[in-house]
Amino acid sequence: MNDPVQLYLTGNRLEKTKKSGLPFMEFFAGIGLVRYALERQEWQAVYANDIAADKEQMYCDHFGSKDSEFDLGDIHQVDANKLPQALLATASFPCTDLSLAGARAGLNKGKQSSAFWGFIDILKSLKDRRPPLVMLENVPGFLTSHKGKDFHEALQALNNLEYAVDTFIIDAMDFVPQSRKRLFIIGKKKLYFDPNPQAIEESTLRPKALTSFIHQHPDITWNIKRLHLEPKRTDLLNDIIEDVPLNSKLWWDVKRASYLLSQMSPKHSTLATEMIAQKKWSYGTVFRRVRNGKSMAELRTDGIAGCLRTPKGGSAKQILFKAGFGRYHIRLLTARECARLMGADDFVLQVPPNQAYFGFGDAVCVPVIEWIAKNYLNPCIAEISDKLK
């Protein structure tokens, strides 16, 4: 009865588990949206780690001042011997070096994304105390980074720690009015889950690029779970917009607003003109991008916001375009609007807007994580429990 899973699932609560939820640890915790989501689905955070003090502040503002579960510091300095037992470890490790913004430096050479190996070292050090489940989250570019070598190496690292692996991609726009695709890896201890290398069909959760990778890598120990996602989004962009008075200083002055409009291509300028001519208010979002060496403003008008990003590495803050009745008004999205786009409407906000932009830009979409918990993680725990009876 020394196995942590068996101890928990037979009714003997694990050490340091303060509440009745399924205990999990979150690494690269950021502002805590993984916790926000999982605690709605029967889980309980027993440890959190991140290196960013500004994110720790937002985390503690929401969950409690200087929450005892939060460990501020470099993941490479975490002492695994002091970690509590848990059934799940999550890692939303930095994506910068796996995206275009980070020039695709990669998992090993990139200064930020190489922190992944700090997480792997922790799992190694835990030995027989490793959680039976692991969940990694990153951008879809992880799949193709260095022609798939980075993704393959990460999966191998989990296999070497006795985890069979599964992977899928979810777009947050199936739940909220924000286009935000993220790739997930689930690691499952081989002790409880047998490999199942059967053919996997292409789907929205496992698009062709991903199923092709799975088929082309029989050297990886896979445990693939059949999944089906029905989109649950009911809101559009206009449903999450705050009612900011037009005399508020948040709205840009005429000179700044007209300059942004002048940066639009003929195609996007036409979209803006059509919005302005309508006899109702409508909303779009704008990102500035460099096209052919020139800064351009690109307008999206389908009721879905672009992906929230941290305002660094070439990515701009997302801009709101409000138009109608022959007029238009422009401002940045508010922090509360960003929270709503992440499915965290009631998240406590006590920090300056720029700090909030960074926090939400690096975070996970809450209903996506809730869906994974309900449809994947919780059934896995039930399966383990059945095997231990």
CB-CB contact of 269 with 261 (8 Å): yes
More confident residue, 347 or 93: 347
What is the rounded average pLDDT of the residues 32-37? 97
d(CA 304, CA 325): 22
d(CA 132, CA 126): 12
Is a pLDDT exceeding 60 seen at residue 364? yes
Taking Cα atoms as reference points, which of 281, 358, 278 lies closest to residue 318? 358
Q: Say which range, 8-22, 127-141, 151-165, 246-260, has the weakest mean pLDDT.
A: 8-22
Buried residues in 322-334 as b, exposed as e (16+ CB within 10 A): bbbeeebbbbbbb
pLDDT in tens, 74-132: 999 999 999 999 999 999 987 554 444 444 455 555 454 478 999 999 999 999 999 99
CB-CB contact of 47 with 71 (8 Å): yes
- Is the Cα torsion angle 65, 67, 70, 73 positive or negative in sign? positive
What is the average pLDDT value for the chain, to the nearest integer?
A: 90
Q: Hey, what are 373's tokens? A: 């918990």
Q: What is the pLDDT of residue 292?
A: 84
More confident residue, 162 or 101: 162
Q: What is the pLDDT of residue 10?
A: 65
Domains and CATH numbers, the chain: 4-231+360-388 (3.40.50.150), 243-333 (no CATH)
d(CA 251, CA 283): 14
What is the rounded average pLDDT of the residues 49-61? 95
| Whole-angstrom Cα Rg for the chain | 22
Q: Hey, what are 331's tokens? A: 């401002």
Q: Identify residue 176 by its one-letter amino acid code.
A: V
Is a pLDDT exceeding 70 seen at residue 261? yes
CB-CB contact of 71 with 27 (8 Å): no
Distance from chain centroid for Cα 149: 22
Q: What is the pLDDT of residue 384?
A: 92
Is a pLDDT exceeding 60 seen at residue 338? yes
Distance from chain centroid for Cα 42: 19
Q: What is the pLDDT of residue 27?
A: 97
Question: How many residues in total does the chain contain?
Answer: 389
Q: What is the pLDDT of residue 100?
A: 44
Is a pLDDT exceeding 80 seen at residue 196? yes
Taking Cα atoms as reference points, which of 207, 193, 106, 123 lies closest to residue 158? 123
pLDDT in tens, 298-326: 999 999 999 998 876 444 689 999 999 99
d(CA 376, CA 87): 14
